[in-house]
A and B are shown apart, each in its own frame.
Chain A
Amino acid sequence: MTMYMAIRNPQSAVRNAAGWFFGTLTGIASLIVVTMVVIILGNIVVNGAGRISWQFLTRTPEMGMTEGGIFPAIFGTFSLVVLMTLVVVPMGVATALYMHEYAPKRSRLVKVVRLAIQNLAGVPAIVFGLFGLGFFIQFIGRGMDQGLYGGDLHYGQPAIIWAALTMALLTLPTVVVASEEALRAIPQSYREAAYAMGATRWQVIRRVVLPQAVGGILTGAILAVSRGAGEVAPVMFTGAAYFLPYLPTRLNDQFMELGYHVYVMTTQSPNVEETKPILYATVLVLLLLTFSLNFTAIMIRARIRSRLRAGR
């Protein structure tokens, strides 16, 4: 910020008072927001930390979810985000590659794709859930059952694959935006050097651009995983289950999810007071998971940004 020295004049006392008031007011607003964050996190850490143990992370829920652990929910969330990543990362990276490397300048298609990505990012999570039910389960799943299994119910029902595909659509904008930023950070001279040696466009991308962009792509993937691990609304009807005695092993199994588990325990528990310690611990696990992912992504992004600045 530019240095500012008060110029002495008759109005300056009034002006200084007004400036002080204005600065304090906005400062208080910032303080309120920061305090809210601290209170939320503090409350959850204080109430949840005592209950987390190795047993809690590795056992299944018992006694109507008042005892035992949350292993199936962790495993389900993990499987969900792995499947999701397998779909969303290639799709998102390819979209970014097209927009940044392939498309001609001022391309109409790029404009429309960018608009679609922006709008996809704004679609409410619950609408993705509706879409997953209407498209993946009712249309694709039912269609597969009709065509492949003679009408037997295999895929026309909530399943982890449908939940993962729904979540992949939800997180697509995250991956595209991060990948595009990574592509933008690569100096043009790298590409030019490769082209000058006679490489084709795909060779330049595979040998020069992609290896350079791995960090940014990773950032996008991690942010997507963090988002996917925390969202509940899209998987409520597409595959998440209240409670399952087994772990998902096939693509059309249902699964337990951490966020959904929190929701179920909070709202459907027969005895809230008894579930409370476990509930807090589950919330803390979910928070630690998403925060550690976000933190990793931010660290990688900061390194890329500093390199981008250095490169210019």
Chain B
Amino acid sequence: MRAGGVLSDAPEVTSEAARATTGADARVTTSPLVRKSGGAVSDRIAAYLIRGCACLAIVSLVLIFVFIGKEALPVFTSGEVRQEAGMTRLFLPAAEKPAFAWQPVSEPPRYSLLPLLLGTLKVTLIAVVVAIPLAVAAALFTSEFAPPWLREIIKPAIELLAGIPSVVIGFFCLMVVAGWLQQAFGWTFRLNAVTAGSGLSLAVIPIVYTMAEDAFTAVPRAFREGSLAMGASRWQTAWRIVLPASSAGLLAACVLGFGRAIGETMIVLMASGNAAVLSLSPADSVRTFSATIAAELGEVVVGSSHYHVLFFIGAFLFVLTFLTNLAGHWWIGRLQRRLQGAS
């Protein structure tokens, strides 16, 4: 059997296998598969290599944790770094005005994380609030209401959206969307939390949509048929049967969408204005955690307090997305178990 032409040679394989089986008596020792001696040795080597490679995924996750944690740790342990950027300096109000300031290059540097935290929450919240209703409604439409031809338009369109690199979305927000929104609402700042949040929602929609759609299609047909047979209308079936049955999957979709939104970098870096101001207004410029790392890590002195604080932020993002992922996949597993048990 040769490599190549793989997609079409299924019948060929079977016929070849069949030929080998019929002629097995005559050429059992010359079968192409066992002709080579030393099969056992290569077998064992391959098994070890493959097993080792499989462990690499675990190893890399652990390495990410260790190496980001290692660079973040001085925030707690090193006296020098703690003086400039200890926990109190990162989170509590300072004596100087303004009480919370992220000014890493001023003299003396100020490392309050609260403006960044607030900025991240603002942008993420806007993105999630825009994206989740749109994506879940679109998923419900595709799985419950849309005729097949329409489904064949919506699904590829969202796959296209998922394929757009985030730097392109960021570019589009900065060049086009920011202008539109500013004209529409008359904001002082062209780049603000809403601009970044709406851009970010474009990155979140495909994730939530895909997961929600999967959850809806995982609901057994018998559920729907039973409901329709009892005289419920389509939307009653969707609302009272499909949505509750897939609720765990929907929750997973929301959580994973949130995880993506909080870590996404290029869109917020380009469209948020990057001003670390402590303000609740969505029309002010914001600076998020991820954008701060992206904007500052390039110029930072390796080993300085600033460097360690940036890794601390990275560690925070890593742990947060790790937890949202665990939660999301746990809920997906629950949905599958529940529906398998039911059908």
Q: Please measure, in the bound complex, the distance between the C-alpha atom of A290 and the C-alpha atom of B169, giving whole angstroms.
A: 14
Known contacts A30-B137, A44-B172, A126-B314; decide if A202 and B46 are in contact (CB<8 Å): yes
A-side interface residues, number (CB < 8 Å): 114
Question: What residues of chain B have their CB less than 8 Å away from a CB belonging to chain A?
Answer: 1-4, 6-7, 9-10, 13-14, 17, 20-21, 24, 28, 31-34, 36, 39-40, 42-43, 46-47, 49-58, 60-61, 63-64, 67-68, 70-71, 133-135, 137-138, 140-142, 144-146, 150, 153-154, 157-161, 163-172, 174-176, 202, 205, 209, 221, 224-225, 228, 231, 233-236, 238-239, 256, 259-260, 262-266, 269-270, 290, 293-294, 297-298, 302, 310-311, 314, 317-318, 321-322, 324-326, 328-329
Interface string of A114-129 (1 = CB under 8 A from B): 0111111111111111
Majority DSSP secondary structure for residues of A touching B: helix
Q: What chain A residues lie within 8 Å of B238 (beta carbons)? A: 22
Known contacts A4-B234, A130-B293, A193-B17; decide if A233 and B168 are in contact (CB<8 Å): no
**Contact check: which of B3, B28, B56, B318 meets A123 at CB < 8 Å?**
B318
Q: Are B51 and A102 closer than 8 Å at their CB atoms?
A: yes
Residue of A nearest to B70 (CB): A134
Known contacts A135-B67, A233-B294; decide if A123 and B322 are in contact (CB<8 Å): yes
Count of chain A to chain B residue pairs whose CB atoms are closer than 8 Å in the complex: 337
Question: What's the nearest-Cβ distance from chain A to residue B7, in Å?
Answer: 5
Q: What chain B residues lie within 8 Å of A255 (beta carbons)? A: none
Known contacts A15-B233, A98-B51; decide if A33 and B266 are in contact (CB<8 Å): no
Residue of B nearest to A257 (CB): B167
Q: Please measure, in the bound complex, the distance between the C-alpha atom of A194 and the C-alpha atom of B16, giving whole angstroms.
A: 11
Q: What chain A residues lie within 8 Å of B269 (beta carbons)? A: 263, 267
Q: Please measure, in the bound complex, the distance between the C-alpha atom of A44 and the C-alpha atom of B168, giving whole angstroms.
A: 9
Q: Are A23 and B145 closer than 8 Å at their CB atoms?
A: yes
Known contacts A94-B49, A202-B46; decide if A26 and B138 are in contact (CB<8 Å): yes
Q: What chain A residues lie within 8 Å of B294 (beta carbons)? A: 126, 129, 233, 236
Known contacts A18-B235, A197-B21, A200-B40; decide if A122 and B290 are in contact (CB<8 Å): no
Known contacts A33-B135, A211-B3, A237-B298; decide if A202 and B63 are in contact (CB<8 Å): no
Q: What chain B residues lie within 8 Å of A36 (beta carbons)? A: 161, 202
Quick one: which of B57, B61, B172 has the most chain A CB within 10 A? Answer: B57
